[in-house]
Amino acid sequence: MPSFRQRLRLLAQLCILIAIVQSCGPELSEPNHLSVSGHWTSTDAIGPVSDIALVITQNADGTVAGTWSAKFFPPTATCPPELNATPTGPVSGTNTVLDIHLVLLGVGDFRGQLIGGATLKGGINSCDIVYPATFSLVGPAPTG
């Protein structure tokens, strides 16, 4: 039979283990409690695509939807294909505890992090090249 001291040590170890388990954060696939809803812009060039603006809304489940717009120059660039001088398109994705993933249909896939609630920093995979990209929150998403 364990001594009182051994039982006390075992109880202390069990309390420490319970505290560690309870202090663990949320699942990495859970929606981020910080919303990315708003109007975002980037001055980074993604190949021939520049001046990208996003107007996106995050739902409670972490899904994101909206639109993008940009400039495309030179007009003879072949990738990404089928874009005009002022292209636009839909945005879809997710904002989770781990990262934000946005698909800018026609441009590429953004993967990154929400930093401080007002910066999205990561990269856009476009035409099999990953371009660094940073978006800044410039205001709320327009309503109406």
CATH classification of the domain holding 99: 2.40.128.20
Distance, C-alpha 107 to centroid of its chain: 16
Report in angstroms the alpha-carbon separations of 69 from 54, 79, 134, 140. Answer: 7, 16, 15, 16
Span 22-39, average pLDDT = 75
33 in a structural domain: no
Query: How far is Cα 52 from Cα 26, in angstroms, rounded to an integer?
Result: 32
Report pLDDT for 103: 97
Identify which has the larger pLDDT, 54 or 140: 54
96 in a structural domain: yes
Report pLDDT for 20: 56
Residue 129 scores a pLDDT above 90: yes
130 in a structural domain: yes
**SS3 state at 92:** strand
Domain of residue 107, residue span: 38-139
Report pLDDT for 32: 85
Q: State if pTM tops 0.85.
A: no
88 in a structural domain: yes
The total number of structural domains in the chain stands at 1
Give the model confidence (pLDDT) of 45-66 as tens digits: 999 999 999 999 999 999 999 9
**SS3 state at 26:** coil
